[in-house]
C-alpha cells in the first residue's frame, strides 16, 4: 500500500515537493489535470480531509481481476480509499468515489464506509474486472469529513489488471494464533539449541510437552496450560491457549475452504524452480520443493497453498521472496505432514493438520501452527512482524 496525499499550496512549494517525491519514487504518474492530484503529493490544510492510501496502489500492475474473501464471496477486485480523518459517510458514495476504465466507461458497483468512517470500499457489481485493462479510481472534492469540510482537491490513482483472469485472496485471519511463532496441540520436541523469536504455546497437552528451554525463546512468551511448562519463564494461561488453538483451527478451515483456485496441481506438485504469483493454489497431491522456489508479488498480495498431501522441502533449498512479497501474507495449508529439510530456508505460515518437522539447521520466517506436534533440531523460527 503506497501512501499518498494532496495539497493546494503555492505553486513554487508544490513544485519543489513534487520533485522531491518523484525522486523518491513515491509518485506513479504526473498530474492528470490542473486540479487533479496524483497519489504521493503533499497534504493540504490540517482541517481538510484527503486520501492517504489506497488498494490497489497507484501504478500497481498485474492486479487480480477478482477478490475472494474469507467468506468465499467472489467479487470484482475491490478498490479502497483510506482517509486522513473520519468522513461524512453520506458524502462518500458512487457520485464521489468512482472507478472507470481509462476509456471512460464507468464500473458499476457499491461504496461502503467501514465502522470508523475512514476507509471507503468500492465493490464492483460484476464478479470480475476485465483483464489487461487500465482503471482510474477517483475521489471527488464533494467528499466531506464529519465536520462538513470538503476535500481541497480530488484524488485519483491508476492500476492495471493482469493479462489473465485470476482471483486475489484476502489474508487468512489468524486471530490470537497470530501472536505465536509456534503453536501446537500435542507438544514440541527440540534438539538443543534452537532460536525462537515469537511466542510459543501448546494446548490441550500439559506444559511438560513443551521441550524448549527459556533461553531458546529470545523474544515472546512460552505459554502452557499448567505449571509444568519450562521454568522459570513459562506463563500459565489455559484460557488464552484454548482461544488460540481454536483460532488456529478456524484459520486452517478458512484456508482449506477457499474456492475458485487460480492454479490446480501446478507442476504435478513439484514446484522447485517455479515463480509463484499471488493467488490460490490447490494440489490434490503432496508438494515437493526440490530446488529453490520464488514467491513474487507486491506488499499486499496474498498466497494461499492448499495441499492435500505432505509438504516437503529438500535440504539446503530456499523459498525466496521477490518484489515486495511478505511472509505474513503466505499461507501453506497442509492436510498431512510437513518436513523442512536440513539447512533449508522457509517462508510463510504453515497451517498443519498433522506434524511439522524442521530438520537440522533449517530456518522458518513465519509461523508453525500444528494440530499435532512440532519437532525442532537446532532451528531458527521467527514470527513475521511486517
Does residue 150 carry a pLDDT above 70?
A: yes
| Whole-number pLDDT of residue 121 | 97
Q: In what helix (H) or strand (E) does residue 82 lie, and over which residues does it extend?
A: strand 79-83
Q: Describe the strand order of the beta sheet including 134-139 as a list of residue ranges.
A: 60-63, 155-161, 134-139, 97-101
> How much is the average pLDDT of 63-86?
90
Which residue, 109, 122, 12, is CA-closest to 78? Answer: 122
Give residue-wise pLDDT tens across range 316-354.
999 999 999 999 999 999 999 999 999 999 999 999 999
**At residue 5, does pLDDT exceed 90?**
no
Q: What angle do CA 1, 300, 278 make, to 5 degrees?
A: 145
Write down the pLDDT at residue 166: 87
Fold of 11-169: Immunoglobulin-like (2.60.40)
pLDDT at 289 over 90: yes
**Residue 20: enclosing H or E segment and its boundaries?**
helix 11-23
pLDDT digits (tens, 9 = 90+) for 234-283: 999 999 999 999 999 999 999 999 988 999 999 999 999 999 999 999 99
Kindly report the CA angle at 298 between 31 and 263, in degrees rounded to 5? 125
Q: What confidence score (pLDDT) does residue 46 get? A: 55
Return the domain boundaries, the chain.
11-169, 175-382
pLDDT of residue 200: 98
Amino acid at each position: 500500500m503506497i501512501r499518498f496525499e494532496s495539497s493546494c499550496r503555492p505553486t513554487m512549494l508544490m513544485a519543489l515537493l513534487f520533485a522531491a517525491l518523484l525522486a523518491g519514487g513515491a509518485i506513479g504518474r504526473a498530474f492528470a489535470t490542473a486540479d487533479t492530484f496524483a497519489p504521493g503529493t503533499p497534504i493540504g490544510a490540517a482541517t481538510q480531509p484527503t486520501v492517504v492510501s489506497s488498494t490497489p496502489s497507484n501504478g500497481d500492475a498485474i492486479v487480480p481481476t477478482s477478490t475472494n474473501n474469507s467468506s468465499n464471496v467472489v467479487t470484482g477486485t475491490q478498490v479502497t480509499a483510506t482517509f486522513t480523518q473520519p468522513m461524512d459517510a453520506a458524502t462518500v458514495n458512487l457520485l464521489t468515489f468512482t472507478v472507470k476504465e481509462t476509456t471512460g466507461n464507468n464500473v458499476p458497483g457499491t461504496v461502503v464506509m467501514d465502522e470508523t468512517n475512514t476507509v471507503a470500499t468500492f465493490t464492483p457489481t460484476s464478479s470480475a474486472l476485465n483483464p489487461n485493462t487500465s482503471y482510474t479510481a477517483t475521489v471527488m472534492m464533494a467528499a466531506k469529513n464529519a465536520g462538513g469540510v470538503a476535500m481541497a482537491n480530488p484524488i485519483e490513482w491508476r492500476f492495471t489488471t493482469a493479462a489473465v483472469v485470476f482471483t486475489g485472496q484476502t489474508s487468512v485471519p489468524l486471530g490470537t494464533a497470530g501472536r505465536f511463532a509456534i503453536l501446537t496441540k500435542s507438544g514440541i520436541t527440540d534438539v538443543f539449541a534452537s532460536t525462537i523469536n515469537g511466542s510459543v504455546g501448546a494446548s490441550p497437552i500439559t506444559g511438560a510437552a513443551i521441550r524448549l528451554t527459556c533461553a531458546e525463546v529470545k523474544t515472546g512468551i512460552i505459554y502452557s496450560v499448567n505449571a509444568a511448562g519450562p521454568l522459570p519463564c513459562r506463563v500459565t494461561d489455559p484460557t488464552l491457549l484454548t482461544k488460540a488453538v481454536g483460532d488456529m483451527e478456524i484459520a486452517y478451515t478458512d484456508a482449506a475452504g477457499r474456492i475458485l483456485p487460480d492454479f490446480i496441481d501446478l507442476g504435478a506438485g513439484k514446484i522447485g524452480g517455479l515463480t509463484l504469483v499471488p493467488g490460490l493454489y490447490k494440489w490434490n497431491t503432496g508438494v515437493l520443493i526440490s530446488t529453490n522456489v520464488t514467491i513474487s508479488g507486491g506488499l499486499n498480495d496474498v498466497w494461499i497453498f492448499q495441499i492435500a498431501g505432505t509438504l516437503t522441502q529438500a535440504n539446503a533449498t530456499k523459498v525466496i521472496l521477490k518484489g515486495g512479497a511478505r511472509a505474513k501474507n503466505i499461507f501453506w495449508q497442509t492436510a498431512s505432514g510437513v518436513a523442512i529439510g536440513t539447512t533449508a530456508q522457509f517462508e510463510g505460515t504453515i497451517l498443519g493438520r498433522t506434524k511439522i518437522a524442521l530438520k537440522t539447521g533449517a530456518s522458518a520466517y513465519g509461523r508453525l501452527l500444528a494440530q499435532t506436534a512440532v519437532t525442532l533440531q537446532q532451528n531458527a523460527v521467527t514470527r513475521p512482524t511486517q
